[in-house]
Amino acid sequence: MRVDVVTLFPELFEGFIKTSFVGRAQTGGQLAVRFRSPRDFGLGKHKSVDDTPYGGGSGMVMRVDVLVAAMESLDADAPAGVRARRALMTPQGVPFDQAAAVRLAKEPALMLVCGRYEGFDERVRAHVDEEISLGDFVMTGGEVSAMAIIEATVRLLPGVLGNEDSTREESHAPETGLLEYPQYTRPPEFRDAPVPEVLQGGNHAEIAKWRRAQALARTEVRRPDLAARAKASAKAKGTT
């Protein structure tokens, strides 16, 4: 998978892309990351990438011409001519979730476009394939959102995690739609809090039953919306 990032601050990603499994994915050949700054296409002596908004208002707006030029330059020299799917980081986008991570992980190339300042010229939207939001809040730029999307998708690539089964039972996994069941390790007891006996008994059928019940109970308390959705899906499949 190739990830192209359009950002004014590629240095923010330096430590991130070298760390943990994101770094290992690059070493192993599952991931390639490229950066392109709109500043490379800025105007005038100061390489300006923003301007005051038409109609007045606070802040500065990123120009459509420099952003589109950065995107198109990445496509122009894309390895094997594979055009990346363009995703704009914006609080007005569709909320990012595990299903989106699974979908994007199947793309051969993904371009994450990070805005800054007050926002970007509305005409930028016509040059992307989708808009993604990390949640109902606003940050000063799209770089943190881009990092979150990279991490969520790269870990799903074959061979990156090492244990492919780990993604099937974790929170928000498409197979269940539930939050993950409680996990324990040594010591068997800590400050009067013991590990549940069922997990120490070695009966795998009972352990699976306990984990399913715990996952459902935890989801019902913390995310009743997910629990209702999971129950409806199981009923539709005839698995309840």
CA angle 220, 226, 85 (to 5 degrees): 155
Q: How far apart are CA 46 and CA 146, in angstroms?
A: 26
Helices (runs of H) and strands (runs of E) counted in the chain = 7, 10
Let me know: does 64 contact 106? Beta carbons within 8 Å: no
Separation in Å, CA 98 to CA 135, 172, 216: 13, 6, 18
Give the HSE-up count for residue 211: Cα atoms under 13 Å, Cβ half-sphere. 16
| Closest-CA residue to 114 (of 147, 72, 74) | 147
Gyration radius of the chain over CA positions: 22
| Tokens linked to 158 | 């074959």
CA angle 109, 112, 113 (to 5 degrees): 140
The full set of domains in the chain, from first to last, is 2-154 (3.40.1280.10), 169-237 (1.10.1270.20)
* 33: helix, strand or coil: strand
Q: What pLDDT score does 164 carry?
A: 65
* 89: helix, strand or coil: strand
Residue 120's DSSP bridge partners are 62
| Closest-CA residue to 117 (of 92, 142, 88, 136) | 142
b/e map 101-133, b = 16+ CB within 10 Å: bbebbebebbbbbbbbeebbbeebeeebeebbb
User: Tens place of pLDDT for every residue, the chain, 240 residues?
Assistant: 999 999 999 999 999 999 999 999 999 999 999 999 999 999 999 999 999 999 999 899 999 999 999 999 999 999 999 999 999 999 999 999 999 999 999 999 999 999 998 899 999 999 999 999 999 999 999 999 999 999 999 999 999 986 666 666 677 888 888 999 999 999 999 999 999 999 999 999 999 999 999 999 999 999 999 999 888 887 787 765
Whether a cis peptide bond, with omega within 30° of 0, leads into 108 is no
Element of type H or E holding 216: helix 204-222
135 Cα distance to chain centroid: 11
